[in-house]
Homo-oligomer: A and B are copies of this chain.
Amino acid sequence: MKALKQRIMQDGKCLEGGILKVDSFINHQMDPALMMEMAKELAERFNGIAIDKVITVEASGIAPAIMVAYLLNVPVVFAKKKVPSTMEGILKSEVFSFTKSRSYTICLSDKFLRKGERCLFIDDFLANGNAAAGILDLTGQAGAEIVGMGFLIEKGFQKGGSMLRSKGIKVESLAIIESLDNCEIRIKD
């Protein structure tokens, strides 16, 4: 998606260790007009697929997910990273974050993920695919189905994309980063 790629080249920053910082427009400060354009593009790419629900993980998945769900006119549920004291029927999965070098638990109430529901997973980043794998685990526990996964930015040099596509999942990413070597951002055309 051209507008996103241009914005990454203009405002993205590459830090040591293969970190792409997009906190001025995606995951700390957010540009809502760009977010809506990205949501439209994702909704378009999953056009024609029956979708009952959008699913995401807090916190930075929520903004793109609510907009995609708004456009698709379906509910959206976000997995939480802390188990709320008032949650019933908890589905849990363990996720390892390479960026943060630690594991965390994601959880969802089984009231909001039902057997047979066709879910579209939306998140800001796809890197090693650990959050996505956690969501596959949760939907599997519930007997729900992931019919697609949409990401704003995919780190093409990490293994998440190939791992998910090799499972036959339709994965769409609006910008695929080819390399962050030497702190230079290279995006796939």
Contacts and interface: CB of A to CB of B under 8 A. Distances in A.
Q: What is the count of identical protomers in the complex? A: 2
Contact of A76 (B30, B58, B69, B109): B30
A86 interface: yes
B111 A32 contact: no
What DSSP secondary structure best describes chain A's contact surface?
Answer: mixed
Contact of A70 (B33, B73, B75): B33
B23 A109 contact: yes
Given A28-B112, A86-B19, A33 B73 contact: yes
A169 B30 CA distance: 25
A87 to B, nearest CB: 8
Contact of A63 (B19, B23, B66): B66
Contacts of A63: 62-63, 66
A59 interface: yes
B78 A28 contact: yes
A29 interface: yes
Interface size class of chain A, counting residues whose CB lies under 8 Å from the partner chain: 35 or more
Contacts of A15: 86
A35 B66 contact: yes
Contacts of A78: 28, 30, 59
Interface in A62-93: 62-63, 66-67, 69-70, 73-78, 80, 84-87
Given A32-B70, A32-B73, A35-B66, 18 more contacts: A23-B86, A23-B87, A24-B111, A28-B77, A28-B78, A28-B84, A28-B108, A28-B112, A29-B75, A29-B77, A32-B67, A36-B70, A62-B63, A63-B63, A63-B66, A66-B66, A66-B67, A67-B70
